[in-house]
Amino acid sequence: MRHRWYRVSPRRLALATTLAVCLLAISTCSPRPTTLEWIQLRGVLRVASTNSPTTCYVGPELPLGFQCEVLERFADALDVQLVVKYVPTEAAALRAVERGQADLAAGVVATRRLAGVMWLSAPLQQVTQQLVSSAAPVPKDLAALQGTLEVPARSAAEAALTAVRQRLPDLQWTVSHSLGAEDLLYRVAQGTLAYTVSDSDLVALNQRFYPGLVGSLQLTAPQAVVWATRRSEDTSLNSAIDRFFTQLGATLDKLRSAYFTNRSSLDSLDITQFTSDYDTLLPEYRQMFISAAKKNGMDWRLLAAIGYQESHWDPSAVSPTGVRGLMMLTLPTAQRVNVADREHPGHAIHGGARYFAMMLDSIPASVPQPDRTWMALAAWNMGLGHLLDARGIVQKRDGNPDRWNDVKRALPLLTQEKWFDQTRYGYAPGNQAVRFVDNVRSYYDILVWLTAGQSKLIAAS
């Protein structure tokens, strides 16, 4: 078991001392500690969440997902550690709060019934149920559908269609008991299913990977996605959440954009910009890449390609999700590779080289080059655990887990509930990892061509 050591701040130490005195003389200590004070004494904010891209999932270093990005900031504001308890449904998250197993449930849809039994935060986002297709023309009415419409069983999508049937009694659809929302979106994108209905935020996220997806008809009015806590006379935690949201301000909009704004893949304009940046930006950092790569036994052009994919060789780059610097290192990764200043280009490049060397060393010894490098790139982007999960899926599909092409085909399956439910680390944006590797390989190939040499480390696959 991995043990974590936590920094004890003076504020927490003072609070612990106060509460310890109260516990020794509980009858004379008034008022009793609040919920917020207990969380700060414990040093942990316990959150119940579904395992999904719109809420939380296991990242390379910390929990990721839109909700978890906000939750990390809230935990930081409270000076505590975020611990996520993954549950299968929103209802299970709410039950965990009711039973005292979690302090709050994240990413739940606000309803009148829920507002009557739980305290609900201000909305983090608004979602609707959308009809999704991939072929033109986009239907203008549900009565005009031509093809199979399929939705997950016992889902918000099924509930929305049931409500629509009151005005369209002839509306037909198929209910899947084995496929989740992302499985069905994938099938629509591949053209093997005509339509599905899904949350608008999930549609927006998947449009990054499947630009042909079209979310058209809205079946429901916008619904607020909120945090929920136990309804109680003790409102200390609720008040802290309210204050935090007020302070968060425009950062919340930036996080929404970071997760739900469509991003196109590498195209001719990217390549043109890259060749221009090769002449204007790379010379300042080229020797740093060469030195760091030589020290860690890798091709400097591969390291430079990673840096370009991450920041476009911008040492002051900062993402809405908190990564920064030329190699866009997270704070935990920077600490792991002894980088104190992520925005110092030399420190960032050497730290990035050390981290990539760690990823290479973590790939099973049976994996040869160049597959080893491509898998290490995927692990850099999504975390080693998810890469190993994908290799496990390859084995279940009778493929070769030591071949990158087989693993590459399995990575997108980590977005599909049918598959990620069978893995150790759960949901992961495998499509994003595939795109990351493809882009780095493209930049690397261009660098090899521009430097008029062939890589001695990575043979062509």
The residues assigned a catalytic role are: 310
Q: How far apart are CA 143 and CA 22, in angstroms?
A: 66
Helical ranges in 207-344 per DSSP H: 236-248, 250-260, 268-280, 282-296, 300-311, 331-336
Q: Tell me which amino acid residue 75 is.
A: A
Q: Is 82 helix (H, G, I), strand (E, B) or coil?
A: strand
Chain-centroid distance of CA 112 in Å reads: 29
Closest CA to 107 of 51, 36, 190, 191: 51
The single residue listed with the structure tokens 């996080």 is 255
Residues with Cβ < 8 Å from 366, sequence gap 6 or more?
Answer: 402
Closest CA to 409 of 398, 417, 422: 398
Q: Are 52 and 65 in contact (CB under 8 A)?
A: yes
What does residue 296 show for φ and ψ, rounded to 5 degrees? -110, 10
Q: Are 87 and 50 in contact (CB under 8 A)?
A: yes
Query: What are the residues facing 215 on neighbouring strands?
Result: 132
What does residue 150 show for φ and ψ, rounded to 5 degrees? -135, 140
